[in-house]
Amino acid sequence: MEKYLLLLAQGLGSGLAKKAPGTWGSLAALMIGWIITPKLGTIIIAALLGIYICGLAEKMLGEEDPSSVVFDEWVGMWLAIWAIPHHLIWYLVAFVLFRLFDITKPWLIDKVQSYPNGVGVMLDDILAGIAARIVLAVLLWIF
């Protein structure tokens, strides 16, 4: 069972890319989100599950926040695209914004990474997803 949870934590293999696994994981989440529009309740359940499976993956792989673990990117990406118009341009803008906040980790996003047991792994991407969604809300209001 644990190997299946690790596979899920690694984004069904999308996090095993040699270069930019977080970007590949985010892209996989974007494609899933395009096909199956994420609902807020589903995202919350995925976030809670993610704390467990990301913490388990850290233990199994013997390192903190392993780069191959991208389930946190999945949840953050789904937050970024939550309740936006189902249009390719908006999804691409959401992807760019999420990656920008996830990579640069401004202010509070950087501070929460140190929380233990999968919480920090998930929380920084959740905050990056929320930040991207807030910027998207402003852009949607303007345009």
The sign of the CA dihedral 106, 75, 132, 20 is positive
Neighbours of 29 (CB within 10 A): 28
Q: Does some domain include residue 46?
A: yes
**Is 125's pLDDT higher than 90?**
yes
**DSSP labels, 75-137:** HHHHHHHTT--S-HHHHHHHHHHHHHHHHH--THHHHGGG-TTTHHHHHHHHHHHHHHHHHHH
Using one digit for the tens of pLDDT, what is the confidence trace for 65-90? 999 999 999 999 999 999 999 999 99
**Is 113's pLDDT higher than 90?**
no
Query: Torsion angle of alpha carbons 93, 139, 44, 14, nearest 10°?
Result: 10
Q: What is the pTM of this model?
A: 0.95
- Residue 91 is part of which domain span? 2-11+18-138
Q: How far apart are CA 21 and CA 5, in angstroms?
A: 18
Using one digit for the tens of pLDDT, what is the confidence trace for 3-58? 999 999 999 999 999 999 999 999 999 999 999 999 999 999 999 999 999 999 99
Number of structural domains (the chain) is: 1
**Is 96's pLDDT higher than 90?**
yes
Over pLDDT 70: what percentage of the chain?
100
Q: Does some domain include residue 143?
A: no
Q: How far apart are CA 104 and CA 90, in angstroms?
A: 21
